[in-house]
Amino acid sequence: MKDLRASLAEHRLVAILRAPDAARFADAAMVLHAAGVRLLEATLTTPGAPAAITALRLALGEDALIGAGSVREPSDVDIAVDAGAAYLITPTVNPAVLERAADLDTPVVCGALTPTEIDQAWRLGAAAVKVFPVAAVGGVAYLRAIRAPLPDVPLVPTGGVHLADVEGYLRAGAIAIAAATPLLGDALSPSGSLPDLAARAGEFVAAAGRFATA
């Protein structure tokens, strides 16, 4: 758990891979990794995601942390861990998921939105709390308001996080940000542009890197 939090604080950025299928996950992940992204999340709502997690772990080795997203049930925990996921990300607070993850010694970035949900996720043992969907409820201003009464909880704003928002979230106290479409764009579609992804990834990494820890 400390290793995941340290990685979040060091790199400040999680790239979310979500698509109708996982056919382009490997290509996109290699581009992201080359640009400096070191934490990637493959969502279990994507058919083929477990196999993609396994492949990415083998391809990138210890130089990246590959996690599983959209983990909602204890059975999802087993699927993700069996695939080799180094950490789990949930969209909601499900105590049974956190309990099963703890049994398997796998850290969780637990999805929550309200102060009560965020506090519950933290007390249930989350390594960090994903504030989702953050843009829909006020973005940076909402995160800043949440941080005031919960300063000890490491928060990862997610959902509509654009490049222009990265500095604001990190200045407001987020341990890291997670980005899907604003970062990936069309790169996961068959005709999507990987060079454009490389350019966007470089910009996101540079923005997050200004707040990275040594």
Give pLDDT tens digits for 107-140: 999 999 999 999 999 999 999 999 999 999 999 9
- Which sequence spans correspond to the domains of the chain? 2-209
Determine whether 2 is an active site residue. no
The angle that helices 163-171 and 140-147 make with each other, rounded to 10 degrees, is 20
Count of helix runs (H) and strand runs (E) in the chain: 10, 8
Q: pLDDT category, 214, cuts 50, 70, 90?
A: very low
Q: Which of 41, 99, 117, 167 is catalytic?
A: 41
CATH architecture of the domain formed by 2-209: Alpha-Beta Barrel (3.20)
Long-range contacts, stretch 158-162, CB < 8 angstroms, 24+ apart: 158/14, 158/16, 158/111, 158/130, 158/131, 158/132, 158/133, 158/134, 159/132, 159/133, 159/134, 159/135, 160/133, 160/134, 160/135, 160/136, 161/134, 161/135
Q: pLDDT category, 211, cuts 50, 70, 90?
A: confident
Determine whether 41 is an active site residue. yes
Give the pTM. Answer: 0.96
**In 3D, which of 26, 78, 22 has the Cα closest to residue 45?**
22
Q: Which of 2, 10, 130, 203 is catalytic?
A: 130
Q: pLDDT category, 1, cuts 50, 70, 90?
A: low
